[in-house]
Chain A
Amino acid sequence: MRRLSLSSRLALLFAACTAVVSLFAGVLFNRASEAHFIELDQQQLDGKLIGLRRALQDLQPGQREARLADELSRQADLSLRITGTDGQRWYDSSTQIPKDLPQPPGLSTISNDGTDYRVLNAPLYPDKADSPQLSLLLDITHHQHFLQRMQHLIWLTVGLSALATAVLGAWAARSGLRPLRRMSAVARGISAQSLNARLPEEQMPPELAEMAHSFNAMLARLDDSFQRLSAFSADIAHELRTPLSNLLTHTQVTLTRPRPIEDYREALHSNLEELQWMAQLVNDMLYLAKADHGLLMPKREPLELADETDVLLEFFAPLAEDAGVKLTREGNARIEGERSMLRRALSNLLDNALRFTPAEGDVSLRIVDQPNAVRISVENSGEGISAELLPRLFDRFYRADPARQEGSSEHAGLGLAITQSIVRAHGGQIRCESEAGWTRFVIELPKGD
């Protein structure tokens, strides 16, 4: 079922509230006027009753009717019936008096032939048990008409005010919700090309400011990821273009005319190198894609980091010796993770460190066992990395040294990105710190449980 729009809902609620309030006020007013009329009538009838009793007591039976007529003639809307103790009608001051009147003593209201009466029943002699009954009738038709008009007026007011508030409420709600519509307009306008659109947070009402802020933050994150992704695709194309064009050119040139067998062999070898580089690139990218999709699920084997890193140090020892670099490890910690993944992550860091350490330099791997985490740092001496480049180090295809040529046997610049993916898959974080003279990569891995 389609939900009502927020403005219609608010308008309807406003209308309902106004209707209830005005109905309540109207009913209250109506009741009050009615009660007021009854009170007036009661007073009037009571006064009349006293006069009539006195008149009837003092008089001799012969004079009664004349006196009654005289008494009643002063007030046209008043009539009188006297009923005997046996129920016999003794006297009617007017022929229009309804046949049946309410019996109980006191005030009541009846309606007959379009005329409304207030009837006051009272004994003629209040101190006698079997007194004839006096029924005083007051024509209150005009009161009733007034009350009816009042009622109509009330209903009209209720209806009109509800309608008016519905209309005004709809208008108010619409203008009150304008910031929301602006938000949705911005959202509607957002596509891959316009992720830089933002909501004006300071112009938003406080209720929406927080939402606008979250919305903007979401846009910023999307924008950032999208930028990286677009750059990634562009970089992939760019990275593949060089080896592909080498392959194409070399193969075509080789085939243009007959050559000695050695040339063919050379061409194939050269192609093989390009192809291997491309295969490595594709495999690395698939690995990263897997990480991006959360498919990198490390096993949780218990690992002694000292043992693990010593194996790596042994692996890199020939390279370090060759480069004249001292490679050391200190500290130990236990951790749960996947051996081959962590080896890959650390081997990228070590490889990287060795590559940028000048001869006679040091590469040191430190393991610090902290209460809730394990810190593994790989530090190398040598030229530092300038601060503005640090955040970009883990970007794919990023090479700190722009002069380094792409393609053949060189690194595609995915190593640190892969290391970061592995660390993240283990729930950890990696960062790089650098100053003149040293560079340090710091991995922080949470200790399971």
Chain B
Amino acid sequence: MKLLIVEDQAKTGQYLRQGLTEAGFNTELVADGNSGQQLALSGDYALLILDVMLPGRSGWQILHAVRSAGLDTPVLFLTAKDAVEDRVHGLELGADDYLVKPFAFSELLARVRSLLRRGSATQQETSLQLADLRLDLIRRRVERSGQRIDLTAKEFALLEMLLRRQGEVLPKSLIASQVWDMNFDSDTNVIEVAIRRLRLKIDDEFPNKLIHTVRGMGYVLEERGA
């Protein structure tokens, strides 16, 4: 799975590549628009991460060229400008997502994974599982070690998201957006409380903890051994 980053700011590009590479992606970085477009048009990439302002050729021009060539590679834009017209312009040209600097890397990673997942066919799962935690999507029931756990609708949705994306660090903003449909930066600690309450039901009575806090980044559901 190869990703292309076109970013002219050396530090940003380098950190992005390092982060994405360490997250398990095969990542390529170029710093100017022209070579970015050449590579993008090769069709070898599963995802393009484009800065808008680039030397030689803007991110929009690259996107336009890619779409004109009939490629439907998902495109994630990075921009320092949060002007409404920019956003509209980008989406009209066929961008799939949009991140405004400054953004958190965990946010970028989560979105990259969402975009990559979007392409692959969603298999009709009937249940999700991690260790002895089992979530039945049809009967909407949750069990751990065979023990039935009662969850509210939102707790169920939250756990479902964590299970579907197990192993991924999910930033609070993404959780708020996916589970509660709250699509704005909020400094409220609602998510912390919700996670704490979910933990109380899922993890507290069991020695093998599954929900973990990644300090400063978000939450992850994974088995880390007893």
Contacts and interface: CB of A to CB of B under 8 A. Distances in A.
A163 to B, nearest CB: 64
Most chain B beta-carbon neighbours within 10 Å: one of A273, A280, A315, A411 = A315
Interface stretch (B35-43, B54-62, B184-192): B184-192
Contacts of A269: 215-216
Interface in A268-318: 269, 272-273, 276, 279-280, 282-284, 286-287, 290, 295, 297, 311, 314-318
B189 A273 contact: no
Nearest to B82: A286
A317 B180 CA distance: 11
Q: Dominant SS at the B interface?
A: loop
B205 interface: no
A53 interface: no
B175 to A, nearest CB: 11
A343 B181 CA distance: 10
Contact of B197 (A280, A318, A344, A411): A318
B202 to A, nearest CB: 14
Given A295-B83, A311-B180, A344-B184, A272 B193 contact: no
A314 B152 CA distance: 11
A282 B102 contact: yes
Interface in A340-354: 340-341, 343-344, 347-348, 351
A127 interface: no
**Which residue of A273, A280, A282 has the most chain B CB atoms within 10 A of its CB atom?**
A280
Contact of B193 (A286, A290, A319): A319
A415 B187 CA distance: 9
B71 interface: no
Contacts of B83: 290, 295
Indicate the size class of the contact surface on chain A: 20 to 34
Contact of B186 (A286, A314, A347): A347
Contacts of B176: 315
B141 interface: no
Contact of B182 (A272, A273, A284, A315): A315
A340 B185 CA distance: 11
Nearest to A322: B193
A351 B193 contact: no
Contacts of B217: 272
Contact of B104 (A276, A316, A347): A276
A280 B185 contact: yes
Interface residues on chain B, size class: 20 to 34
A282 B101 CA distance: 10
B215 A272 contact: yes
Contacts of A287: 82
B216 A276 contact: yes
B190 A283 contact: no
B178 to A, nearest CB: 12
B190 A297 contact: no
A415 B194 CA distance: 21
B216 A273 contact: yes
Nearest to B183: A340
Interface string A350-385: 010000000000000000000000000000000000
Contacts of B181: 311
| Interface class of chain A by DSSP | helix
A210 B185 CA distance: 47
Contact of B82 (A290, A322, A347, A351): A290
A348 to B, nearest CB: 8
Contacts of B102: 279, 282-283
A279 B186 contact: no
A271 to B, nearest CB: 9
Contacts of B197: 318, 322
B84 interface: yes
B164 interface: no
B180 A315 contact: yes
Nearest to A422: B184
Contacts of A284: 185
Interface in A314-348: 314-319, 322, 340-341, 343-344, 347-348
Contacts of B103: 279
Nearest to B185: A283
B2 interface: no
B104 A344 contact: no
Contacts of B180: 311, 314-315
Nearest to B102: A279
Contacts of A351: 186, 188, 190
A295 B193 contact: no
27 contacts: A276-B104, A276-B216, A282-B102, A283-B100, A283-B102, A290-B82, A295-B83, A311-B181, A314-B180, A316-B188, A316-B190, A317-B154, A318-B194, A318-B197, A319-B190, A340-B183, A341-B184, A343-B182, A343-B184, A344-B184, A344-B186, A347-B184, A347-B186, A351-B186, A351-B190, A411-B187, A412-B187
Q: Which 10 pairs from chain A and chain B are nearest by CB?
A: A272-B216, A279-B102, A344-B184, A318-B193, A351-B188, A315-B180, A318-B194, A340-B183, A319-B193, A269-B215
